[in-house]
Structures are given as structure tokens and as C-alpha cells.
Amino acid sequence: MTDLRLRYAATSDVGRVRKDNQDSGYAGPWLIAVCDGVGGAARGDVASATAIQQVRKIDGPPSDDPDHDLLARVAGALHRAHDRIGELVDEDPALDGTSTTATVALFDGSRVGIGHVGDSRAYLYRSGEITQLTADHTFVQSLIDEGRITEEDARVHPHRNLILKALDGVHEAEPDLFVIELALGDRLLLCSDGASGVLDDGRLADILSTGSPDFATVELVRASLEAGSSDNVTCLVADVVDASTEVGTDPLVVGAAADPRPIRPRGAMSGMTSLFRGHRAGDTGELEPIQAEILDPPPGVPFAITSDPIDPEQARYAPRPPRRFVWLKRLLAGLVVVGLAWIVLAVAWSWSQDQYYVGEEDGYVIIYRGLNSEVAGFDLSEPYQRSDVEIDRLSEIEAERVREGIVYDNPVDAEAKVQDLAARQEPVESTDE
């Protein structure tokens, strides 16, 4: 049952754009897992680290029971991670909105049980060919499945980051669960979308075809960043080797789970937070309305009600006493609304002027100040700094990202991105007359 072993490695990098690493990864003798946190100000790093801390508990040799169920252990770990994230949100509502992807592979010596939620991925490299084992739970994947766009289209689609399933402690995410039989010489890859979003299957296969797991993880991260990944990048590689082969037994923890930051005190903020917040749960706490019917009251009682509803049409057209000072109440209400709207607009405008994005104008890369959008025909941004970087001399992926607008919350990061693009321009072809 246990003729094979795993030789594994893991690497995680914050990337060239993000300030925080919200990815988490774990690699051990029997388990490899990757989680990609979602939430921004709601601390996606907390969600991914929490999930890894829960699922790593199942890293252990298979039970002696021949009926042991790999998938039951994987599903149980994912549900415990889901529940723990919900507990953290209950303890600190500032975490409301946090969630994480999760791709987990549990090994038993000959097979691997995989559990998957979100858009992190698992691949199998076997005999020179690579196979994607998991299917993304994303909006663009649904478009691919319907034949409306191609895989290449999905890589630059404006809604490519819209995830349909995640562990959030609120909505029960039903993970994809399946078992894969492994063979000697197989190589497993688990990665966040920071890698799979920019490296196609051919490039992944090229990197996985040579070198040790350590070399492969480092090269995968390096290649992802060079390909223009704007996300955190986490890669875990595990080789299937003979049981007699000497392998490491110390687990590896990378990303946010390796050095989790403490949860902020309630009410504290880090960076920009949303001006509007919704319910964590679907229940709004509203009660069903009670309809009442006016009856002839007993002596000494001004009125009585019953729970029997009156005729809706009778209620609609029943005469009502005139209301006093209606115009004044409406005026005051209008002034309150206008005042609140002015405050909201002022705050929003002030915040927008602290935003920057790298965009394109007349074929050149420039930095804009403000938001990359319009309201009623009014442009919410203006040119801040122009450059001599020609967009036609950039790679197709980088050029498309610039046309969409690469957002930053300070000019220093935006200028650094322009300098990076300048260094990566394709050289101008000289012409000899």
C-alpha cells in the first residue's frame, strides 16, 4: 500500500506588485496544499493561513484500516478550515469578507486524494506530458466551458479574477473531491493563480521536465514574475519516488502561514477600506409583517386588533387624516440627504486623488492620478507623469495590462512599475540604409 514516497519542495513570493503575501502553502511527507487568500483589507492572509493550519493536521501516514477513505479526510479538513474562518469572522467583524481558495493533495503511498475549491490548481506531469487535474471555480472558466471564450482569452479577460467558490466561513463550499493513482516518476504541481494565470501548459511542462523539486519551484516562481504576474506566486512540487529513496521528513510552510501577522484590533484599518459593507450572513433580521383588522372595541377600550388581515384594496384606499407640516419634514429630509451625499462625494473624491494607475495614451505608457473610470462622461483621472515607454514594444500580456490600467495607491509604486516596463521593452530594430 505504501510502495512510494514524496520528495517535495515549496516556494512562495509576494511578487512585484502586491505589498502583502496572501498565499499560503504546506508540503509534508503525506500532504501538499496551497491556499490563495481573498479579501484585501479584510485580510485574505488570515484566511489562507488559517486554512493551511487546519488542513496540515491530516499530514500523516495512512491508517492500517484497509477501508480508510482519503477523500473523507480531505473533505473533513476543508470543512474544519471553513468553520474556523467563520469563527474568526464572528470574533472580529473587521474580517468580514475574507476567504481563500484551497487545493489539497493527500498521499497514501500509491494514490493521492485531491480536494479543490477556487482557482488555485493541481497538475500532474507524467512521461513528458502535463495534465491539469483541477477545474477552476471562476466566471471565466464557466465561459470557457460554454465555448464562449478560449483559454488564451481567459488570461486577459477583465473578470478573470472573479471566483465562484471559496472557503469563507459563510457559504458551504462543496469541494471537488477525487482520487488519482500515482506511478513512480510522476511529478505533482500545486500552485496559486499567480503562476497558472501567466504560464501556459507548455511552459509549465518545460520547467517541470528537469531539475529537482527545489529547482522547479524556484524556476516556476521566477518564470511567473518574468511573465508579468501581478499577484503573489506560490508553487509546490512533489516527486513520486521509490519507498527506499531517502527523502526529507520535515514539513515546509511558506507564505502567510509561515509568518502570519496578528489580526488587527477591531476598528483598525490598513490601507484603503470599503466605504460600504454588507451582511456577512443572508439573514437581515427582519420579521414578517403582522396585518391587523380594526374591530368594534369593547367598552372602555379605544380599539382592538386581530391577526386576520383586512382586504388589501380596502387598506390601500382607506381615508387617512391629513398630515401636518409635510412640506417642512420633506425639506429637512431633503437637506439631510443632500448633506450626506456631499460628505460621501467629498470623501470619495479626496480618496480618489490619492490613487494612481499605469495606463496608455497615444501609444506611450503614462501614470494617471485618480480612478480609471468615468462618471456621467466626467473622467475621474488626469495624466500625472508621462514616459517614453512605447506600448508596442512590450509583451502582449504587459501591453494588455497597461491598456486595462495597473492600479496603485501611491506614485512611487507606479513609477517603479514604469521603470520595470522600460527595462523590459523589446529593443528597437536598427535599419541600415
Whether 55 has a pLDDT exceeding 90, the answer reads yes
Note whether 235 and 297 are same-domain residues.
no
Q: What is the pLDDT of residue 64?
A: 67
**pLDDT level of residue 163 (50, 70, 90 thresholds):** confident
| Rounded Cα gap, residues 16 and 231, in angstroms | 8
Average of pLDDT values for 332-353?
Answer: 80
Note whether 29 and 130 are same-domain residues.
yes
Q: What is the pLDDT of residue 431?
A: 54
* Domain final residue, candidates 227, 255, 283: 255
Please write the tens of the pLDDT for every residue from 361-381. 888 999 998 888 777 777 778
Q: What is the pLDDT of residue 274?
A: 27
Note whether 81 and 194 are same-domain residues.
yes
Note whether 123 and 142 are same-domain residues.
yes
Note whether 210 and 190 are same-domain residues.
yes
Q: What is the pLDDT of residue 223?
A: 97
Is 284 a domain residue?
A: no
Please write the tens of the pLDDT for every residue from 313-334. 333 233 344 445 566 777 888 8
Average of pLDDT values for 60-75?
Answer: 80
Domain encompassing residue 388: 356-423
Note whether 63 and 144 are same-domain residues.
yes
Q: What is the pLDDT of residue 195?
A: 97
Note whether 143 and 168 are same-domain residues.
yes
Note whether 218 and 297 are same-domain residues.
no
Q: What is the CATH number of the domain that holds 138?
A: 3.60.40.10
Place of cell 387617512: 320
Is 94 a domain residue?
A: yes
Least trusted range by pLDDT, from 14-28, 49-63, 171-185, 326-340:
326-340
Place of cell 409583517: 289
**pLDDT level of residue 349 (50, 70, 90 thresholds):** low
Average pLDDT, rounded, for the chain: 81
Is 270 a domain residue?
A: no
Is 210 a domain residue?
A: yes
Least trusted range by pLDDT, from 228-232, 239-243, 276-280, 300-304:
276-280
Whether 424 has a pLDDT exceeding 50, the answer reads yes
Least trusted range by pLDDT, from 95-109, 275-289, 360-374, 416-430:
275-289
Note whether 249 and 342 are same-domain residues.
no
Whether 85 has a pLDDT exceeding 70, the answer reads yes
Whether 157 has a pLDDT exceeding 80, the answer reads no
Rg of the chain, C-alpha, whole Å: 28
Is 386 a domain residue?
A: yes
Q: What is the DSSP string of 349-417?
A: HHHHTT-EEEEEETTEEEEEEEEEEEETTEEEEEEEEEEEEEGGGS-HHHHHHHHH-EEESSHHHHHHH
Whether 278 has a pLDDT exceeding 70, the answer reads no
Q: What is the pLDDT of residue 327?
A: 67
How many domains would you assign to the chain? Answer: 3
Is 412 a domain residue?
A: yes
Average of pLDDT values for 181-199?
Answer: 96
| Rounded Cα gap, residues 308 and 354, in angstroms | 58
Q: What is the pLDDT of residue 261?
A: 55
Are residues 191 and 12 in contact, defined by beta-carbon separation less than 8 angstroms? no
Report pTM.
0.60
* Domain final residue, candidates 346, 370, 391: 346
Question: Which residues does 199 contact at the CB level (< 8 Å), separation at least 6?
Answer: 207, 220, 223, 224, 227
Is 286 a domain residue?
A: no
* Domain final residue, candidates 255, 285, 316: 255
Note whether 120 and 216 are same-domain residues.
yes
Note whether 340 and 361 are same-domain residues.
no
Q: What is the pLDDT of residue 77?
A: 97
Is 351 a domain residue?
A: no
Note whether 191 and 317 are same-domain residues.
no
> What are the Cα distances from residue 26, in Å, to 37, 52, 250, 251?
14, 7, 11, 7
